[in-house]
Amino acid sequence: MIYRQIAEILQKSSYVVCLSGREMIVEDGISSMRNMETAYSIETKYDYSPEELFSAQFFSTRVEKFYEFYQNEVLNQAKEDPGISFQALAELERMGVLKATISRQLFDFPKRAGCQNVYDLHGNIYEKNHCPRCGREYPMEYLRDAKKVPLCEKCRIPIHPGVTLVGEMINIGRMTKAAEEVSKADTLLLAGAYMKSEMAQQFLKYYKGHSVILIHSGSARGDQDADYFISEQAKVALPAIIEELKLLRAGQDT
């Protein structure tokens, strides 16, 4: 069975790194703006595409509209909690199998589920919400609950979200460290991600290991490029793999 085979690979691996893809948060109830129906709904509602609304230019020139969108479509999703698949990643880390998780999502699900070594490439909605002038930081709730544009209490200028907006540079230091993690990995786990996704292509060039494990529901172009592919939701596959891993370890102890 494929789950047993993957468990055996993880058991033998010395350094496993996970690229946590968009499908993992969709499984937990987050509406992805890359989904065509969601994108169409947002464009109909705000008269701009999600990419335009979520841009540094929009923040600078139409901050009221930006925050109307950001509060309603992003921050209001903070009520969702990390589900089974992220809890499984945290358990793999506690078991000493998973060494690092890399994500481009904004809701901090890996850390909130219990993962310790996480690289949020685009930041997250909970941290680094700051005044561009004085640097004072504000909690997510301050931004979410503001009746108008959330302003710095001292400088009275709009607070910049702690996420990387379209058109802004990704934190180079964070990206470099994530690439270093991938370069150390002998097994790379793509959970809820795709081989041809931007994140996968960005990091596969640093990977020098021998086992790329791909998990996502359905099928997509490039699946055949993975060493192992499980066509299943991460919230189904990851717990099943962990159970097999526990059985393997129990067998070794007897």
63-110 per-position pLDDT tens digit: 999 999 999 999 999 888 999 999 999 999 999 999 999 999 999 999
Residue 184 pLDDT more than 70? yes
pTM confidence score? 0.93
Cα separation, 119 vs 225, whole angstroms: 25
For residues 188-208, give the mean pLDDT: 95
The pLDDT of residue 152: 98
pLDDT tens digit sequence for 228-240: 999 999 999 999 9
Query: pLDDT digits over 245-254, tens only?
Result: 999 998 865 4
Locate all alpha helices (DSSP H) within the chain, ordered by sequence: 2-12, 22-27, 36-46, 50-53, 56-61, 63-69, 84-94, 109-113, 140-144, 172-184, 198-204, 234-253
Q: What is the pLDDT of residue 103?
A: 97
**Alpha-carbon distance 165 to 142, whole Å?**
19
Domains of the chain from N-terminus onward: 2-29+81-124+166-253 (3.40.50.1220), 36-79+129-144 (no CATH)
